[in-house]
């Protein structure tokens, strides 16, 4: 754990989707009587204080039940964790490059994009096969919908409402799969940036893991050639995102991305096989 340093503690919490969701759930609860919701991990740590957040995280880990050994589910969970960590880093770099004032909240939203997948996998370990690297997003969403009559976006939004997360986060999570099915005109204007950035960052992180290298240029080219990214250029243009590669090539952003890449790859091998069309 990160001790008493709030900056380092926020960085650690921001590597894990479940911990980030728990933190936001706590800080936005009736206990703290906030007049405005907190939507970023950094703001939550600043408000609550490093000691309280550290103790919450320890209690959370100790309270987790010991899962039955399921190698496929463990691999899928590990992959979702790596995607979320990389996606939040990518989203933060792009948001800062765009000079958006809510960069921290947008990074947190990207981290939480996998919340529905993690929840569904926890309750239905048999879904693990759908999270293998060679399983495309459209096929996975369709199969989950067939089996469970819901999709990861619906599950994430439901959890967000039950946990009383900020409404802006809940709405964004509920719309997280919108770019899969149609253009940006389907989104409310205030959801355009978080959904676009979350969808792009998550997709890019997924491709980087599949190709096994921290090479954003190749990954962006690959991502934009996949069927589930057909509408993505429209979304990026609609919210004014330009120079994505420039954002990720900035020295500070590149160092951070390389560091995150190294830490995620300390816990797992390169995905196989290579990206294939959905």
Q: Which pLDDT belongs to residue 251?
A: 94
User: In this structure, are 57 and 168 located in the same domain?
Assistant: no
How far is the C-alpha of 83 from the C-alpha of 121, rounded, in Å? Answer: 15
Distance from C-alpha of 99 to C-alpha of 116, rounded to nearest angstrom = 29
- Return the CATH number at 252: 1.10.3210.10
Q: Which of 33, 63, 93 is the last residue of a domain?
A: 63
The domain tally of the chain equals 2
Same domain, 129 and 55: no
> Per the domain annotation, does 11 fall within a domain?
yes
pLDDT along the chain (278 residues), means of 10: 50 69 80 80 73 56 53 89 92 94 89 91 91 92 96 92 86 96 95 96 95 94 96 96 91 92 66 43
Q: Is 278 part of a structural domain of the chain?
A: no
Say yes or no: 92 and 13 in one domain.
no
Range of the domain at 28: 6-63
Q: Which of 63, 85, 112 is the last residue of a domain?
A: 63
Domain co-membership, 29 together with 111? no
pLDDT of residue 271: 53
Does 29 share its domain with 130?
Answer: no
Q: How far apart are the first and last CA of the chain?
A: 39
From residue 140, give the alpha-carbon distance in Å to each of 109, 143, 220. Answer: 21, 5, 21
Pair 14, 98 in one domain:
no
Same domain, residue pair 260 and 155: yes
Last residue of a domain, one of 14, 31, 63: 63
Asked whether 114 and 15 are in contact (CB, 8 A), the reply is: no
pLDDT at residue 272, as a whole number: 43
On whether residue 135 sits in a domain, the answer given is yes
Q: What is the pTM of this model?
A: 0.82
Q: Are 214 and 77 in the same domain?
A: yes
Q: Confirm whether 272 is domain-assigned.
A: no
Concatenate the DSSP letters of all residues of 29-49 into one string.
Answer: SGGG--SS---SHHHHHHHH-
Q: Are residues 126 and 243 in the same domain?
A: yes
271 inside domain: no
Question: Do 177 and 229 lie in a common domain?
Answer: yes
Q: Is residue 107 part of a domain?
A: yes
């Amino acid at each position: 754990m990160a001790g008493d340093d709030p900056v380092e503690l926020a960085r650690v919490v921001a590597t894990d989707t479940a911990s980030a969701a728990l933190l936001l759930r706590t800080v936005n609860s009736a206990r703290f009587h906030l007049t405005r919701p907190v939507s970023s991990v950094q703001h939550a740590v600043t408000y609550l204080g490093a000691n309280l957040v550290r103790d919450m995280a320890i209690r959370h880990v100790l309270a987790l039940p010991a899962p039955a050994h399921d190698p496929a589910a463990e691999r899928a969970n590990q992959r979702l964790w790596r995607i979320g960590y990389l996606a939040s880093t990518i989203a933060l770099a792009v948001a800062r490059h765009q000079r958006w004032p809510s960069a921290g909240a947008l990074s947190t939203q990207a981290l939480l994009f996998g919340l529905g997948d993690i929840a569904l996998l926890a309750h239905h370990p048999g879904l693990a096969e759908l999270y293998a690297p060679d399983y495309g997003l459209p096929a996975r969403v369709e199969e989950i919908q067939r089996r469970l009559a819901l999709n990861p976006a619906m599950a994430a939004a439901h959890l967000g409402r039950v946990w009383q997360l900020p409404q802006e986060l809940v709405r964004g999570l509920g719309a997280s799969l919108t770019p899969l099915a149609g253009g940006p005109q389907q989104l409310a204007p205030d959801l355009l940036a978080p959904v676009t950035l979350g969808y792009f960052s998550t997709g890019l992180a997924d491709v980087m893991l599949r190709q096994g290298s921290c090479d954003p240029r190749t990954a962006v080219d690959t991502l934009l050639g996949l069927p589930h990214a057909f509408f993505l250029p429209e979304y990026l243009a609609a919210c004014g995102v330009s120079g994505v590669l420039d954002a990720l090539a900035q020295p500070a952003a590149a160092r951070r991305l390389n560091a995150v890449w190294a830490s995620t790859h300390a816990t797992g091998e390169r995905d196989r096989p290579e990206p294939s069309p959905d």
